[in-house]
Structure 1
């Protein structure tokens, strides 16, 4: 069974913005083409049980393709994004695969696997199920296999998730620059 788009205002296929409650269209809609925006009540579109296929704001700072049944992995960003090692910084959001978090308050660094594995604060993230790599969640059981002590990693740490992406020796300068962009965006949006 597919995951439905989150509740929110979406184009219902008729040009109107209609409230999607997370499972079905409601009778409430607004028409932004009107001179004065008002809440209307009217019948939901024909496919009332499911949102039509299309690009929707996934409420995480990007557009994501809904195939009519479930979210796909296809995403679109603003065109102003910066990306490195699978991590995408786009405005107020930072993304890693299907994961997203607001950039305000996020920390970014480049560290060796050895330094990360020696840090109790870092390894606690695996115990608390907050640690993710490019292959998915990293648990206490998979921690030593997922992180190679001799490699370097880009680390993006938010309040709810910590992401690590392996980098090569020749990518270190680029990784440091990207981490600087993340830190600058984090500081800019920290209280916004």
Structure 2
């Protein structure tokens, strides 16, 4: 477990509350010591638990917590919400956000290392067996969520242009408006450069 959560520069011990304990968890500090109550923010479906696995008596108050996926998420006191904060240096296009080592699409996140971005016509995508098989394997996502093989031809319009992110955790497709197509090429180049940069780090 981490060190006591002293106030930086003062050495003063903070009041009871939820603090980062240095292990990727928000742990309850009772004002004098760490307790067994924690929130493991690396688990997207996390609930407050004790080490014994029993529901904890205390519940973390509302607040912003690091989700260990390159952003901060709002915990409303009962569950995670859709509200997120990024570093302030993020790049966003068509609902896809790249921020340092992570790339995000709605609720989905994956490390940017190893992803590939491309700009594709719907007709080209639908003619590729590897793309259509991603729908069969339930690894294809659009702005409305998972795109299954049953929904594929309705979700992907042949004449439309899409920003496509392909990575280990699936394929993300986001439709582009006419005014964003030129900017999308710059964005795809940025994603691919970042993917190469972080691949070997």
The TM tier, using the shorter chain, reads 0.7 to 0.9
Residue 147 of structure 2 is matched in structure 1 by 138
Q: Please say if residues 27 and 39 of structure 2, whose CA atoms lie closer than 8 Å, have aligned partners that are also in contact.
A: no
Q: TM-score, normalised by structure 1?
A: 0.80
Where do residues 1-192 of structure 1 align in structure 2 (5 Å cutoff)?
A: 8-10=24-26, 12=28, 19-20=38-39, 22-24=46-48, 26=50, 48-192=57-201
CA distance in 1, matches of 2:34, 2:148: 41
Q: Please say if residues 133 and 163 of structure 1, whose CA atoms lie closer than 8 Å, have aligned partners that are also in contact.
A: yes
Task: Give the number of equivalent residue pairs.
Answer: 167
Q: Please say if residues 103 and 111 of structure 2, whose CA atoms lie closer than 8 Å, have aligned partners that are also in contact.
A: yes
Q: TM-score, normalised by structure 2?
A: 0.76
Unaligned runs of 5+ in 1: 1-6, 28-46
Tell me how far 1:180 sits from its aligned partner: 0.6
CA distance in 1, matches of 2:169, 2:153: 22
CA distance in 1, matches of 2:114, 2:178: 28
Superposition CA RMSD, Å:
2.2
Q: 3-state DSSP class of the match of 2:118?
A: strand
Deviation digits for residues 151-186 of structure 1 (CA, Å, limit 9, x no counterpart): 000001111211001012332110010001100110
Tell me how far 1:141 sits from its aligned partner: 0.1
Unaligned runs of 5+ in 2: 1-22, 41-45
Q: Which moved more, 1:12-21 or 1:166-175?
A: 12-21
Q: Which has the higher contact order (CA 8 A, sep 6+)?
A: 1
Q: Please say if residues 25 and 49 of structure 1, whose CA atoms lie closer than 8 Å, have aligned partners that are also in contact.
A: no
